[in-house]
Structure 1
């Protein structure tokens, strides 16, 4: 650990973690996720943990015997939008003030507005947020659906064909479409080439499951359904509607539903899965209604709290 300094209540601060410390944090996150039914960190944080060049502040809580009891990740990469915070406490060390000590460390360390995610909407996270003056600002729902239930029929619009993503060929065109499809989204619409390529290099990436809808005459990208499969020891495999987007000018023609159905069929028929999940903002009433019409149901909530 470099640039380490004491903060409070056995909490230390670092601007970088070594491989052994990263491994400890990942074990802690897995343990908490198994206990809570929701992983404490999103994909963005997990990717940044492995990137030694990603600007971040790490708060580490340890017991008297050196056991890692809690961790907070402060994403300082975009000062203009504030500091992103994700925090976890080991299930065996809760109700001992560790979470509050980490939260106080966050408040003492960060400058500017704070954006903190509580994955799974845990009651203790909500209580701590209220006590510290955070306001509930955004809710992200995880929806789930069995793939054993009928998917229904949803053909592609006339003049549209489906093909797989081509690495090195479709990157720039996809980023342009993604930015247009998610122009108002606080995270997805801001993806860069680096954001895309780091995911294309992940072990789970499957180009055959990255479906692109294209104009048959011009080859222009009109939409996409990027699927993902979660596989980890001790847990059942589950598919994900990782990202699904449609060119704004192509809205209203049934392309979104056709892409959704095609991706679900791929996960069921080609990957042999029996269940799938996705994430959608509570404020996106149209998307929620679409997914619920095709058999998805609300599974868990992830809440964003803001301060400043």
Structure 2
């Protein structure tokens, strides 16, 4: 089984010692719709320190993007500071704050600097998330299912609502030149920015209609990722029947991603980022074909390993991935408390 990243020295301003912290007004807590650039950098340093200490990224990709670029109405960034040091951060997503009829769950994610744990920072962050949620139930993601996160959630009366598995496999056994059988009239071509966005969003919405997050992606969500340094159109494979564009029909896609060293391990690692098949093309073998082509692309990039995420209760998908050489690596848990 792959090993987690080796600890690296934390970055950012030094934190006060436990003794010194007692002489400071315990915690300065604030939440804002959008952090200033210097505050974003401080939070990113906190995230790097937590990743190095825990071997797992403390926030989801979506939360990190919203931290850096802003989010929709109702989103808040929560900071906990001791003196000049940022020791805790939470991202809150609550929808439109003016919609008093909103009964959907609010969502949050939080992280505490490794040098500031066991001082009550996590409880302060969670309490602020609960205040922001108001009358709505609150879901809080715990990445890696670390003991401290489980203790905090259980003490607050939260129950496990969802479990997301990260699975991994090596790429050494992947066929570097697969020639899968495709449905009649279908060809697989790389994504073309500026042309394929709307077609992909339509298929993504249909393929993930029952998925809590993925199925609701907007053009803005896609554009944010196209602007990221890791985006590679050559690894974003689309299955078209007919010519791409207005006259063609997009049936599915396999969007791969490459994590740089230090992001998900000591070495760069590939990801089955989004694999989606239109309902009309499910059961045709297109998913297996796109999977093989995407894995071959990642192997061709010189990578040695690939990861993916799947809902733990999606038994058919987990079983399929296990048959294709993937094994369970880590767990993310969504904790929920009803009000």
Q: Supply the distance in 2 between the matched residues of 1:284 and 1:43 (Cα, whole angstroms).
A: 22
State the secondary structure of the residue aligned to 1:298.
strand
State the secondary structure of the residue aligned to 1:155.
coil
In the TM superposition, 1:110-129 aligns within 5 A as 110-111=133-134, 112-129=136-153
In the TM superposition, 1:269-308 aligns within 5 A as 269=300, 271-308=301-338
Which residue in the other structure is 2:281 paired with? 250
- 1:277 deviates by 0.5
Contact kept? 1:120, 1:301, Cα under 8 Å:
yes
Assess, with a 3 A threshold, how the Cα gap between structure 1 residues 178 and 52 changes in structure 2: closer, same or farther.
Answer: closer
Q: Work out which of the residue numbers 48, 56, 61 in structure 2 matches 1:38.
A: 56
Q: Deviations over 1:5-53 (max 9, x none)?
A: xxx9414112131111110101101110111111011111111112246
Contact kept? 1:151, 1:294, Cα under 8 Å:
no
Which residue in the other structure is 1:223 paired with? 252
Tell me the TM-score normalized by structure 1. Answer: 0.91
- 1:219 deviates by 3.0
The RMSD of aligned alpha carbons is 2.0
Q: Supply the distance in 2 between the matched residues of 1:284 and 1:88 (Cα, whole angstroms).
A: 28
For structure 1, the residue ranges without an aligned partner over 5 or more in a row are 1-7
Q: Work out which of the residue numbers 107, 123, 131 in structure 1 matches 2:155.
A: 131
How many residue pairs end up in the alignment? 299
Q: Work out which of the residue numbers 119, 122, 127 in structure 2 matches 1:99.
A: 122
Greater displacement, 257-266 / 144-153: 144-153
Contact kept? 1:69, 1:98, Cα under 8 Å:
yes
Q: Work out which of the residue numbers 1, 6, 10 in structure 1 matches 2:27.
A: 10
Q: Work out which of the residue numbers 144, 148, 155 in structure 1 matches 2:180.
A: 155
Which residue in the other structure is 2:9 paired with? none
State the secondary structure of the residue aligned to 1:295.
coil
Which residue in the other structure is 1:5 paired with? none
In the TM superposition, 1:47-62 aligns within 5 A as 47-52=65-70, 54-55=72-73, 56-62=75-81
Q: Supply the distance in 2 between the matched residues of 1:187 and 1:284 (Cα, whole angstroms).
A: 16
Q: Deviations over 1:202-226 (max 9, x none)?
A: 1111111000112248731111000
Assess, with a 3 A threshold, how the Cα gap between structure 1 residues 173 and 136 changes in structure 2: closer, same or farther.
Answer: same
Which residue in the other structure is 1:268 paired with? 299
Q: Supply the distance in 2 between the matched residues of 1:255 and 1:145 (Cα, whole angstroms).
A: 21
Tell me the TM-score normalized by structure 2. Answer: 0.83
Which residue in the other structure is 1:209 paired with? 235
- 1:156 deviates by 2.9
Greater displacement, 191-200 / 291-300: 191-200
Q: Supply the distance in 1 between the matched residues of 2:214 and 2:192 (Cα, whole angstroms).
A: 20
State the secondary structure of the residue aligned to 2:122.
helix
Q: Supply the distance in 2 between the matched residues of 1:179 and 1:73 (Cα, whole angstroms).
A: 25
Q: Work out which of the residue numbers 35, 38, 45 in structure 2 matches 1:20.
A: 38
For structure 2, the residue ranges without an aligned partner over 5 or more in a row are 1-24, 97-101
Matched, 1:66 2:90: no
